[in-house]
Amino acid sequence: MSELRITGISVDLVRWPLKMKRRHGVGDIEGSMPGVIVKISTNAGIVGWGEASPWSVFTGTAEANASAIHLYMRPLVVGADPLKVSTLMRQIEKTIVGHTEGKAAVEMALLDIVGKHLGLPVAQLLGGYYRSEVPLSVSIANPDFEEDCNLAKALVADGVNIFKVKTGFSTHKEDLRRLEWLRANLPATVDLRVDYNQGLDPWNAIRHLKDVEAFRPTFIEQPVKREQRAAMAAITKAIDTPIMADESVFTPTEAIDMVRGEIADLVSIKIMKSGGIARAREIAAIAEAAGITAYGGTMFGPAHGGGDPEHFAWRGILHLHLCHGGRSPEDADRDRQRLDPGSDRCRPRCRSRRRQYTTHQHRPFRVSRPPAVGPTLEGESR
Tell me the chain's radius of gyration from C-alpha atoms: 21
Residues 268/250, Cβ–Cβ less than 8 Å: no
Residues 227/245, Cβ–Cβ less than 8 Å: no
Element (H, E) at 12: strand 6-17
Q: Is 270 annotated as catalytic? A: yes
Residue 288: exposure state from Cβ atoms within 10 A (0-12, 13-18, ≥19): middle
| 3-state per-residue secondary structure call for 301-345 | CCHHHCCCHHHHHHHHHCCCCCCHHHCCHHHHHHHHHHCCCCCHH
Q: How far apart are CA 108 and CA 278, in angstroms?
A: 10
Q: How far apart are CA 331 and CA 158, in angstroms?
A: 26
**3-state class (DSSP) for residue 326:** helix
Pairing type for strands 6-17 and 32-42 reads: antiparallel
Residues 62/52, Cβ–Cβ less than 8 Å: yes
**3-state class (DSSP) for residue 338:** helix
Q: Is 19 annotated as catalytic? A: no
Quick count: other Cβ atoms within 10 Å of Cβ 191?
23
Q: How far apart are CA 267 and CA 284, in angstroms?
A: 9
Pick the catalytic residue from 39, 103, 116, 270: 270
Residues 362/161, Cβ–Cβ less than 8 Å: yes
Q: How far apart are CA 214 and CA 210, in angstroms?
A: 7
Q: How far apart are CA 269 and CA 249, in angstroms?
A: 8
Pick the catalytic residue from 116, 164, 166, 273: 166
**3-state class (DSSP) for residue 49:** strand
Q: How far apart are CA 311 and CA 307, in angstroms?
A: 7
Q: How far apart are CA 223 and CA 202, in angstroms?
A: 8
Quick count: other Cβ atoms within 10 Å of Cβ 124?
15
**3-state class (DSSP) for residue 37:** strand
Which positions are catalytic? 166, 270
